[in-house]
Structure 1
C-alpha cells in the first residue's frame, strides 16, 4: 500500500502503523513542519430507534409509502433507505390488537415495532416525514432499580493532580474471626471516595488522597451474600495498622434463626400477614413472569423453575435465562415464589408457574417489548417489573396496553431516586409499588439504617428514603432489609422498590388463584380482570407510616383481606390506630370480601370520623366498581391515592 505523498492527502485505507510511518517520513523531509496524521473522521454513531405506524398513514413525502400502511410496509421502506440498518422486527405472535392505538382496518402487521439503527439526524428526518403518524423514538436503555442506596452527597468531584497518598487497610471477618473474601468496602468523604474488595485474606486495601483519615465521613461494608452489611458514620480509622470490621451472619438474626437449614419467612411477608394464610394457598394454576436479570436455578429455593426466555441472547441461545450474573432477578423471584421445603425462605406463591424473562444486563425498551410479547403468547397472568427507564416510552406504553388487553397485570417498582415515580410504574395501566421499612427488622449498625425516613409510626413502619413518590403510587410494600435468594445458593438482605414490587406480585398470584370471585375469571382473561385485581389489592391495604398517599398510596396490602379470609386475630394493632394523615386506619383497606367492613375482625366502624373531618364518603366509590357492579368494599376514603394518575407521556 502506498504511503502518503509529501504534502498530499492520506490514503483512507492506510493502517495506523502506515500512517505513523508516513508522518515519520514527512518529519524526515521537513522536521520544522510535520504532516498531520490522517485517518477516519469521528462522526456520530448510529443508535437503535423504534419505528412503528401510529395510524393509517397519508402520503409519505415523495416515497412509495402510501396508505394503508402496516408494520411490514414500514420494515420494507426502512430497509430500502440509505444509512438505516434494520436490526429486528417485533410483531404480535398472539394475534391480539391493541384497542385505542390503531384501527383494525390496518390489517395484520399493524401492531409491533421495527428496531433500526440510524443517527439522530436521520431519525429526526424520518419523524418529520411521518407528519405525526409515524412513531420514531430512541430505544433507551433500562436499568434495574439498584437495591443499595449510595451517598452522592458525601462524594467530592475534585480530583487532585498531586499531593500525598496513603493506603488504608481494612480487614473484614465473621463472628468466628474467619476472614471474609469478596466484600466491597467503600470510604466516603475526604478528597475522593475510595472502594476496594477484600481478597482471600479478608483485607481490602484502599488508596486515599491526603494523609488524614479524620476526613472520612462514612465507611460502608457490603458483603455479597449471607451477612448483614455495616455502615459507620465518622469512623475512627488508623493509617498505621489494619482496621477490623466484624460482620454478623443473617442466620443469627432472631427472625432468621438457623437460616437456611431452618425454613423462615421474611419480615415483609409477615407484615402482610402471609403467615396467617392457610398453607394450601400456594398460587397453583397462575402464571407469573419476572422480567429481570434471570433466575439461578442452582438455588435450592428456585430449582423448581423450568420456563424462561433470554431476551438479550435470543439470537444465539434463548435458554440461558437461568444464568443470573447480577443476582437481582433471583432475589425478586425468591420473594415471589421460593419453594418452602425445610430449607431457605418461603415465597408467597411457591406453586405458581414461573416464567423468567432475562433482560439484564444491557436491556433496552425494544427488548422489554419483546419480553411482554412472550408473556402475551404464553398466557401469563402477572408480570413483575423491578426496572425503570430514564423517560416514558410511547412504544412501550402501546405494548403494556396490549398486555392488559390480554388480561396480563403488570406490577412495577416505583423507583429508587427519591423523586417522581419512574416509568413504567408511572403508567396508568401499571400497579406502582413504593417501598417501606420497619424498625427492628435489621441491625442498627447495618446500612439499612441509612434508609430510615422521618415518618416512623408507632409500630416502627417508615417510608424508605430512596423510594419514589407521587400520585401514581398505588400501594407500598416492604423494601428494606428484604432477605431472599441470590446465586449460586445463598441469601442476601437488599433494599429497594425492586424488593417491594415482588411482595405485591406474589400476593396478586394468590388472589387470582384463591379468591373466590376470580375462580370463574381465570379463564376469562380481560382488562376488566386486571382492573379488578388491582382494585382488590388497593382496597385490602392499610395505611402505614406517618406519610401521605403520595408516598404509600393506599398503604400496605393485607393478605387476609385480599383473599377474603377472616382475620385470625380478633384485634389487630392498626384497627385502633389513627393513620398519620388523619383518617382512622381501620376504615381503609380492612374490608372483608363478605361484608365490606371489619365484621370478620369484630370491629364496628362508622362515618362519624369522616364527617368530623369534613369528608364526604358518598360518591367516593372507585369508578370501576360502580360501572362493573362489583361488591361494595366499604366507603373509600376521599384521598387521591393511586386513583389520580398522570398521563405518563
Structure 2
C-alpha cells in the first residue's frame, strides 16, 4: 500500500509531507456535515457495491438477502454474526428498492461503499490486470548494509531490552491487514503463516489462492510486517516481536484503495482465524471521515463498527495508525480530501464524522514520533483520540525482493505497537483485547507537550493530544508479567 498522506489511499502511512487543513479550529467543530454526495443516485448500468445492515438474527439476515435479490441486486457476502450483507447492483434506485420492497422491513440501513464504479467488476468475474500504479517518489529508500544497530526505533521503545527477556511466542498470530506481504523475504519467511493468509480485494470476498495475499503494486505491507516480526536469524533487521507468527490479510487493491467491504472481510477473517492482534495502517476509502448523518456513510460506519466489535469479541485486538494529515481528530471542522475515488470537495464536518477504523471503539490509535522523540509533523493528534505513540519517521524495515527501505508515517508507528501487543499476549496468553489495550496504555512512558508552547498540544503529561498516554514501552510489556 502506499499509505496515503491522507490525500491518497493508505492513510496510515507514508508521506512525510503533512497536509494542512484550512480553517481548522474549535469554532466550527460542531458544524453539521452536509455532503454534496449524499445519496447521489448511481448512473444507470453503473456497478456499485453496498453494505446492507440488519439484525444479526438468521431470519432477518435471510429476509435481507431476499430483499436484495428482489431489488435486482446480488448478494456478494453475508455476515450473519454481524447482521451485515455486502450487495452489488447496477440499479440507480437500489437503496430505495431494497428497503421498500418485499422483506425490506428487515433492512436497518443501506449505503454505497464507494462513489466510483466497482473496478474489479461483478463478483466472481476474472480479476482485471493490475493497475500500473506504483509508489510515490522517495517513499522507499533502499538501505545499504542494513543491520539491527541501525534500528533506533527499537531502542526508543526499549524493544532491544525487552528481547533480552522475550522475543514473543509462536503461539501468537498477528494479522498484517495491508497491501500484502512478501513471504519470501529472508527476514519474514521464518515467521510467516501462509495457511492463515488471505486476499480480500475482490469485492470483499475471501480468496485463499496461494500467493494471492502477496503484494503486487506496493511494498507498504511488507514494510509494516518487518517492523512487527522480522525474525532473529542473523539476516538484516529484527522486529519488535521476532518470535511471533504473522499472516498477510490483503485489504488494499492495486490502485491503493481500501474499500469498506475489503476491510470488513479482513476483520472477520482475523476473528475466524484466531488472530491475537491485527495492524491497520490505513483509513477506509473513499472518505477520510465517514459521517453518521449521511445515509451511505452512516451505514458503512455502522457495518465496519460491527466487524471490529465482532473481531474484538473473538479475542483479536486491532491497532491502527492515526493518519498523516496533521489533523486534530478531537476538533473536526472540514474535510477537503474526500471522496478520493472521485472529485474531492471541501465539506464541513463535525466530531460524529469518524476516521475508520482508527476512531472506532476497541481500536488502539497510534500517533508518530521522530528519532528526537517529538511528534512527527505529519501525525494526526487529538485529546482522548490518541491512545499511545511510537516511532514513525524514517523507519528501516523490509521491502519486497529481500531488500530494506526507509518509510515515514503513522503507518510505520502502528506496527511498533502491534508488536508490543504481541509481546504482551505472548507472556500473558489469557489476556483479552481490552486488557492488552490497558497494559499498552498503563505501561507507556509519559511524554510532555513541547517545551516551546504549541497550542495544539493540550492535556497533561500523563495524557495529551500529541502522545496520548505516552510512548509505547516494550520492556514494561514483558517485565510486568
TM-score under structure 2 length normalisation? 0.69
Structure 2 match to 1:469: 381
The answer to whether structure 1 residue 117 and structure 2 residue 32 are counterparts is no
The answer to whether structure 1 residue 73 and structure 2 residue 6 are counterparts is no
The answer to whether structure 1 residue 88 and structure 2 residue 69 are counterparts is no
Structure 2 match to 1:433: 366
Superposed CA deviations along residues 234-276 of structure 1, whole A, max 9, x for unmatched, are xxxxxxxxxxxxxxxx44xxxxxxx33x444522111000111
Query: Using a 3 Å threshold, how does the CA distance of structure 1 residues 184 and 394 change in structure 2: closer, same or farther?
Result: closer
Q: Which sits farther off after the overlay, 355-364 or 119-128? A: 119-128
Query: Using a 3 Å threshold, how does the CA distance of structure 1 residues 126 and 499 change in structure 2: closer, same or farther?
Result: same
Structure 1 match to 2:325: 417
Q: Spell out the pairing of 1:126-525 with structure 2 (5 A cutoff).
A: 126-127=98-99, 133-140=107-114, 222=138, 224-226=140-142, 250-251=143-144, 259-260=145-146, 262-264=147-149, 266-279=151-164, 281-284=166-169, 285-304=171-190, 305-307=192-194, 308-313=197-202, 314=206, 317=209, 319-361=211-253, 362-389=257-284, 390=287, 391-392=289-290, 393-421=301-329, 422-438=355-371, 460-470=372-382, 471-514=384-427, 518-519=428-429, 521=430
Q: Give the superposition deviation at 1:290.
A: 0.8
The alignment of Structure 1 onto Structure 2 pairs a total of residues equal to 359
SS of 1:268's partner is: helix
Whether the 8 Å contact between 1:359 and 1:368 is mirrored in structure 2 is yes
Structure 1 match to 2:8: none
Q: Give the superposition deviation at 1:131.
A: 6.7
Superposed CA deviations along residues 406-441 of structure 1, whole A, max 9, x for unmatched, are 111011111111214422111121110011112xxx
Q: Give the superposition deviation at 1:341.
A: 1.8
CA distance in 1, matches of 2:422, 2:208: 32
Aligned partner of 1:540 among 433, 443, 448: 443
Query: Using a 3 Å threshold, how does the CA distance of structure 1 residues 315 and 358 change in structure 2: closer, same or farther?
Result: closer
CA distance in 2, matches of 1:223, 1:507: 25
Whether the 8 Å contact between 1:311 and 1:318 is mirrored in structure 2 is no
Q: Give the superposition deviation at 1:324.
A: 4.2
Whether the 8 Å contact between 2:389 and 2:468 is mirrored in structure 1 is yes
Whether the 8 Å contact between 2:279 and 2:415 is mirrored in structure 1 is yes
CA distance in 2, matches of 1:483, 1:45: 43
Superposed CA deviations along residues 589-628 of structure 1, whole A, max 9, x for unmatched, are xxxx7xxxxxxxxxxxxxxxxxxxxxxxxxxxxxxxxxxx
Whether the 8 Å contact between 1:324 and 1:487 is mirrored in structure 2 is no
Structure 2 match to 1:101: none
Whether the 8 Å contact between 1:87 and 1:117 is mirrored in structure 2 is no
Greater C-alpha radius of gyration: 1
Superposed CA deviations along residues 339-395 of structure 1, whole A, max 9, x for unmatched, are 122221100112212111111124321121112111111111111111102234110
In the alignment, structure 2 segments of 5+ residues that lack a partner are 1-42, 117-133, 291-300, 330-354, 451-456, 459-463
TM-score under structure 1 length normalisation? 0.52
Whether the 8 Å contact between 2:53 and 2:108 is mirrored in structure 1 is yes
Whether the 8 Å contact between 2:359 and 2:365 is mirrored in structure 1 is yes
SS of 1:70's partner is: helix
Query: Using a 3 Å threshold, how does the CA distance of structure 1 residues 86 and 133 change in structure 2: closer, same or farther?
Result: closer
Whether the 8 Å contact between 1:135 and 1:395 is mirrored in structure 2 is no
CA distance in 1, matches of 2:436, 2:360: 17
CA RMSD of aligned residues (A): 2.7
CA distance in 2, matches of 1:381, 1:481: 28
Whether the 8 Å contact between 2:223 and 2:397 is mirrored in structure 1 is yes
Query: Using a 3 Å threshold, how does the CA distance of structure 1 residues 394 and 363 change in structure 2: closer, same or farther?
Result: same
CA distance in 1, matches of 2:218, 2:56: 40
Q: Give the superposition deviation at 1:90.
A: 3.1
Q: Spell out the pairing of 1:622-633 with structure 2 (5 A cutoff).
A: none
Superposed CA deviations along residues 36-78 of structure 1, whole A, max 9, x for unmatched, are xxxxxx747232111131478xxxxxxxxxxx84222211221
Whether the 8 Å contact between 2:64 and 2:107 is mirrored in structure 1 is no
CA distance in 2, matches of 1:263, 1:461: 19
CA distance in 2, matches of 1:46, 1:223: 33
Whether the 8 Å contact between 2:200 and 2:249 is mirrored in structure 1 is yes
In the alignment, structure 1 segments of 5+ residues that lack a partner are 1-41, 57-67, 99-110, 143-182, 186-220, 227-249, 252-258, 439-459, 523-528, 566-592, 594-649
